[in-house]
Amino acid sequence: MNIAVAGTGYVGLVSGVCFAEKGHKVICVDTDKEKIDLMIAGISPIYEADLEEMMKKNYAEGRLNYTTEYAAAYKNADAIFIGVGTPELPDGSANLSYIATAARQIAESVEQDCLVVVKSTVPVGTNDKVEQFIKDFLTHDVKVEVASNPEFLAQGTAVRDTLKASRVIIGTESKGADDKLRKIYEPFGLPIVSVSRRSAEMIKYASNNFLALKISYINDIANLCELVGADIEEVVKGMSFDGRIGSSFLNAGIGYGGSCFPKDTKALKYLAKQYSYDLKTVGAAAEVNKKQKTKLFMKSCKRLITFQGLKVAVLGLAFKHGTDDLREAPSLDNIALLLEQGADIYAYDPAASGNLEKKYPNEIVYVHAPEEALKGANVCFIFTEWKEIKEITPDTYKKYMKTPLVYDGRNIYKTEEMKNAGVEYYSIGR
Ligand code: UDX
């Protein structure tokens, strides 16, 4: 099938590349000419395992292309996927201006019947409006239907999550649209769930919010564990044998970040408010998360008189391992506080240092190995569970740091092993 994809961010680009990988002919559209040229040259604008390789292969084999010329790309497409961003507005609602721009361009370009598929996360009811909007602006006498097909990929594992997704959600208002989307996904061999358009939109928010709830719940319990003398790792182990609870997304730590959970919790709360419904659980999850992000810093303030003149090693900056993304990363809140308190920060991250350097070009020393950050340090904070950081042995802290004092926001180590190595160690919920 001829597929066009609007937007080449995480969702758009990864989806486009995966459709090509499965044999469709795909053209990815973006307004950013520099980005398009980069992709034509085989360079991925985002850091994702396997993506660049697949881009090069599918481009060379003629199934994948990139353009800024949206009209030519949309004109004869069988399906157009919208994967543009829906960032958060100051009031917490989703900014739909990129969706509107894409819809308008589609309406003014299509010259044959086509299915427009919204992959972006949009408030319930948006796709009804997108369909009407496109119909209002059509310049040719063609039939355009809109379907909702939310994306569940996580950064760092985006390609795998798309090719081996737990499910494909198809939200349509007609059998024809459902059949067409099922055909597009047929080569993926994944479970497909067909629902109404509004249910599909809701499934995305309900899923992300549930995961955010799970994290905040376990962080809440972890904080209580500390107070009552229980160990969160043991508690989760015991809980996880109950199949109804499961073991995933129960890693206690310094809270969730990234481009989805913080934004989607706010957007769902905002949506509920519009219907005069107070979504209390989600509000609580967001509140717990906000506090959790700086919990370790607050703990360290009880131990230290000042950060002035102290060398502070910061290990891990990205909001999670496997990505260079710093959006809503807990490290940011802590770094701002540490700088405010006069700390000399030496930061290490295998991928995200360059992005932090844009924000703090001179205030932080960026190093290429954890040992460089730890050498002579008075305190160490761990904010991301990178493999490179997990591999640091307890002895290394003792060997390199001036005072082996470690605050671990990801519970990487067993308390006992750090104690045995002579490290003063603080983590979450233990
Ligand atoms: C998330 C969803 O997983 C994905 O399905 C959706 O499409 C987009 O949002 P992403 O934000 O990329 O994906 O990362 P994810 O792995 O879900 O982690 C989000 C945040 O939660 C990270 O900061 C991570 O460190 C944190 N987290 C995750 C925890 O603190 N504890 C956990 O147990 C799991």
Which helix (H) or strand (E) segment holds residue 192: the answer is strand 192-195
- pLDDT higher than threshold 90 for residue 58: yes
Q: Report pLDDT for 48.
A: 87
Parallel/antiparallel/unpaired status of strands 144-148 and 64-67: unpaired
Report, as an integer, the average pLDDT of 7-20. 96
pLDDT of the residue at 9 = 92
Q: How confident is the model at residue 66 (pLDDT cuts 50, 70, 90)?
A: very high
Q: Which two tokens stand for residue 235?
A: 């508690």
Which two three-digit tokens encode residue 300? Answer: 């360290």
Q: Is residue 378's pLDDT more than 90?
A: yes
Q: Which of 310, 136, 118 is nearest to 201 (CA)?
A: 118
Dist CA 351 CA 214 (whole Å): 27
Kind and range of the H or E element at 238? helix 232-240
Q: How many residues does the chain have?
A: 430
Q: Given this model, what pLDDT does residue 382 score?
A: 98
pLDDT at residue number 30: 96
Q: Among 55, 58, 45, which residue's Cα sits nearest to residue 10?
A: 45
- Domains of the chain as residue ranges with CATH: 2-195 (3.40.50.720), 204-292 (1.10.1040.10), 294-426 (3.40.50.720)
pLDDT, the chain, mean: 97
Tell me: the pLDDT tens digits for 390-428? 999 999 999 999 999 999 999 999 999 999 999 999 999
How many angstroms separate the CA atoms of 271 and 267, rounded?
Answer: 6
Distance of CA 31 to the CA centre of its chain: 22
d(CA 15, CA 62): 17
Looking at residue 275, its pLDDT comes to 96
Write the CA distances from 361 to 272, 344, 354, integer angstroms.
41, 14, 9
Catalytic residues: 260
DSSP 138: -
pLDDT of the residue at 6: 98
Percent of the chain with pLDDT over 70: 100
Decide which of 168 and 47 is more confident. 168
Tokens, residue 99: 């969706």
Give the strand pairing for 79-82 and 64-67: unpaired
Cβ–ligand 1 contact at 320 (below 6 Å): yes
Give yes or no for residue 156 having a pLDDT over 90. no
182 burial type by CB count under 10 A (0-12 exposed, 13-18 middle, 19+ buried): middle
% pLDDT > 90, the chain = 97
Distance 20 CA to ligand 1 centre (A): 27
Q: Which of 215, 223, 331 to mutate to test the pocket of ligand 1 (most atoms within 8 A of CB)?
A: 215
Are residues 429 and 232 in contact, defined by beta-carbon separation less than 8 angstroms? yes
For residue 306, count other CB atoms closer than 10 A to its CB. Answer: 10
Ligand 1 atom having least distance to the Cα of 261: 9
pLDDT for the residue numbered 352: 96
**Residues contacting 173, CB < 8 A, separation 6+:** 145, 196, 197
Q: Which of 217, 260, 268, 327 to mutate to test the pocket of ligand 1 (most atoms within 8 A of CB)?
A: 260
- Per residue in 235-281, pLDDT tens? 999 999 999 999 999 999 999 999 999 999 999 999 999 999 999 99
Burial of 60 (0-12, 13-18, 19+ CB in 10 A): exposed
CB atoms < 10 A from the CB of 217, how many? 17
169: nearest Cα among 144, 203, 123, 130: 203
Tens digits of residue pLDDT in 82-117? 999 999 899 989 999 999 999 999 999 999 999 999
Atom of ligand 1 nearest to the CA of 323: 12
3-class DSSP state of 165: coil
Condensed to tens digits (0 to 9), the pLDDT of residues 387-400 reads 999 999 999 999 99
pLDDT at 47: 81
Query: Above 90 in pLDDT, residue 49?
Result: no
Rounded Cα distance between 199 and 240, Å, is 29
Tell which residue, 160, 124, 111, has the closest CA to residue 275: 124
Nearest atom (ligand 1) to Cα of 10: 12
Q: How far apart are CA 351 and CA 347, in angstroms?
A: 12
Contact 28, 65 (CB under 8 A): yes
- The answer to whether 4 and 29 have CB atoms below 8 angstroms apart is yes
Instruction: Tell me how far the alpha carbon of residue 239 lies from the centroid of ligand 1, in angstroms.
Output: 20
